[in-house]
Structure 1
Amino acid sequence: MGSAAGATGELDVFDAGRCCGGYALGVAVGRRFGEVIRSRMSRDLVLRQQLLPFASTAQAEPLLAALRAANSARYPQYWDELVGTADGSGVPLLHIMLVNFRKEILPFIPKEDHDREEEADDDCSDVLVVSESMAIAAHNEDANVALLGHTYVVKATSPDGSSSFTAYTYAGELPSCAFGFNSNGVAFTLDSVPPVHGEIVAGAIARNFVSRDLLEARSLDDAMHRICSPDISVGHSYNLMDVRSRRIVNVETASGNRFAVREAGVAPFFHANMYRHLQIKQVCS
């Protein structure tokens, strides 16, 4: 996976400190990584060849309006953060919206204009093991080639200083649709899953907003609630870790508030890019 690297080749880490609200955090990240964000937007072929052309059509207008309304209503702080990222980086808000909503938009682009198999590489995988001697989540981070050189780490502290998070972040997107952890001992990794078109709800809650909310989780139970309660558009697979209690659970979700939970144990549990325990119609690879 690529990164925003300096002369040493190390992943660029930005500690935003205490920010007074989501917009301020977004502006700080946008300013710090503006060059990287603009570079990603100029080179991302999914954005340039699929999302932007679709966004100019009459079909896209109600879908984008519904996504904006649903996510800004449920997560106003994170919506402000997204707007701040656009303002801070100098990138049009539409472009920032499209990359953050890409998984919720791509299934609705007419097939003659978009080969959905092109997104098949935007996937990850995990092996989870918990025993008396170890508790491990081994994660492989895969993504679209447009993200090579276009990722970074964001650290932030709540305004009152009571909690903080660290998140591996795709340029221009909310932290984090990849993996992250916080000072409450909650960590997570994510795996994509492929529900068929009939399992997807147009204009509902986006996965990037759910994973951003995970960074604020106070406990494992709170993290599970944040995953399972939203009326999501497209399903996802979440690997949740409670560092303090040495617990790891996999949660698969789907539209219609459907979810299934499996706790990791001594036998290694592998999860890649197919549903394993939630009964969902899915695209077979």
Structure 2
Amino acid sequence: MDGDGKKIEMFQVGPCQDAYQFGFLIGKRFSKLIKTRLATDFILHNQLLPFANNTLQSQSLLQTLFDNNKKKFPRYWDELLGTAAGSAVPLLHILLINFRKEILAFIPKEGAKSYSADTLDDCSDVLVVGESMAIAAHNEDANVALVGHTYLIKRILPDGMFFVGYTYAGELPSCAFGFNSHGLAFTLDSVPPAEDEIMAGGIGRNFISRDILESTCIEDAISRIRSSEISVGHCYNLIETSTRRILNVETASRKRDSIFEVHDENSISRQKRAAALPKKTKEDFLSLLGDADDRKYPIYMTGPLLHTLCTAVFDLDEHTLSIIEGNPKKGDVSHVFSIKRCHGDHPNAI
């Protein structure tokens, strides 16, 4: 459940006449949620806006960042324009939250002293492909400002296909996880880059993950990831139900990508804790993702800075996505979606 104890809302949109209308309808539907998210976003008000208003430092960086992303993904840029208009909030605020990680790295340290503690989204994933089980289970962790400020967007595309994305209020779907009617799904994890690895003016992670939602297969998703000059590192767990495949792709600036595991102290601690827990059934993995015994680096987070918003479980054998709100140990499933490749004349096949 969200911060008010209500089931997360799903909004079906489309087909739309254009990308702007799609964004506008989302903005209008969730105007209140977007406004309250922006009003309570500590990072926006204490770091992003002060930096953006300091034109001497920020004008060149932001203009290049915005221009490059608008040129690469004009449709998704128009979606943000529509979201800002529909929700009646300043466009700059919408842009800043969508590019927060691409911008925060360039804010002088004295103005962003809490950057590493406040903004790293330490999501946890369990990926298993074996004879008896094929699942991807994902804890969606985010800053406290996002608690109660998310929703599900189902977009019907002009050709009748669709995607579903778990969406942060005011942002493109989806910087978290999603799937489409081609049977392609994904979850996302943070890969904190070293300072000299960040490319100013590169393509934003939100734009790339939005593009993946329209992938036709796992190879197409990889191609879309590789085609963008990403600004900061990111991790993509690509899931294809029709072939029972899960692929982990980690990226860096300058069009580098690889399949490998990157650890920081946080990840190592949580991996050690996970190794000590039983893992034989789906319930074992949910119990693992609900573990909070390590007080410094819990797998299931309840604050003060980071919260686990929900847990997503993709079952490749059952062809389902289950969303669990609350500790996954309790198994409180709020939504179950069918994930199967379908034809364009069946846009409601959920």
Give the TM-score of the pair, scaled to structure 2.
Answer: 0.73
**Structure 1 residues 38 and 122, CA, compared in 2 at 3 Å: closer, same or farther?**
same
Q: 5 Å matches for 1:219-238? A: 219-238=217-236
Asked if the contact 2:120/2:192 (under 8 Å) is kept, the reply is no
Q: 2:90 matched to 1:92?
A: yes
Equivalent position to 1:248, from 246, 249, 255: 246
Where in structure 2 are the equivalents of 1:65-144 lying within 5 Å?
65-115=63-113, 116-144=115-143
Alignment-mate amino acid for residue 218 of structure 1 = T
Measured in 2, the distance between the counterparts of 1:46 and 1:208 equals: 17
Is the CA contact 1:25–1:81 (under 8 Å) kept in the aligned structure 2?
yes
Distance 1:75 1:188 in 2: 20
Q: Distance in 2 between matches of 1:135 and 1:35?
A: 39
2:310 aligns with none
May I ask how many residue pairs the two structures share in their alignment? Answer: 266
5 Å matches for 1:120-269? Answer: 120-161=119-160, 163-261=161-259
Aligned pair 1:32/2:39, yes or no? Answer: no
In structure 1, give the amino acid aligned to 2:38: M
1:125 corresponds to which letter in structure 2? Answer: S
Contact 1:4/1:11, CA 8 A, preserved across alignment: no
TM-score normalised to structure 1 length: 0.89
| SS of 1:108 mapped into structure 2 | coil
Instruction: Letter of the 1:197 partner, please give it.
Output: E
Are the equivalent residues in 2 in contact too, given 1:3–1:12 (CA < 8 A)?
Answer: no
- Contact between 2:37 and 2:146, CA under 8 Å: does it hold in 1? yes
CA contact (8 A) 2:191 2:262 kept: no
Secondary structure of the equivalent of 2:159?
Answer: coil
Q: Which amino acid aligns with 1:150?
A: H
Cα offset, 1:17, TM superposition:
2.6
| Deviation string, structure 1 residues 194-229 (Cα, Å, up to 9, x no partner) | 111100000110000000001000000000111122
Q: Which runs of 4+ in 1 moved over 4 A?
A: 269-275
Indicate yes or no: 2:10 matched with 1:16: no
CA distance in structure 1 between the aligned counterparts of 2:228 and 2:205, rounded to whole angstroms: 10
How many angstroms does 1:176 deviate by?
Answer: 0.3
Amino acid at match of 2:188: L
Tell me, in whole angstroms, the C-alpha distance in 2 between the residues paired with 1:25 and 1:120. 28
What SS does the aligned partner of 1:187 have?
strand
Question: Unaligned regions of 5+ residues in structure 1, if any?
Answer: 263-268, 276-284
C-alpha distance in structure 2 between counterparts of 1:271 and 1:222, whole Å: 28
Shift in Å, 1:261: 2.7
Structure 2: which 5+ residue stretches go unaligned? 269-296, 298-350
Give the Cα separation in 2 of the matches to 1:147 and 1:121: 13
Partner of 1:165, secondary structure, is strand
8 Å contact kept, 1:127–1:270? no
1:119 offset after TM fit, Å?
2.9
Which 10-residue stretch deviates more, 227-236 or 249-258?
227-236
Percent of aligned positions that are identical = 57
Q: Report the Cα distance in structure 2 between the residues aligned to 1:154 and 1:103, rounded to whole angstroms.
A: 23
Distance, in Å, in 2 between the alignment partners of 1:271 and 1:84 is 38
Measured on the aligned residues, the alpha-carbon RMSD in Å equals 2.0
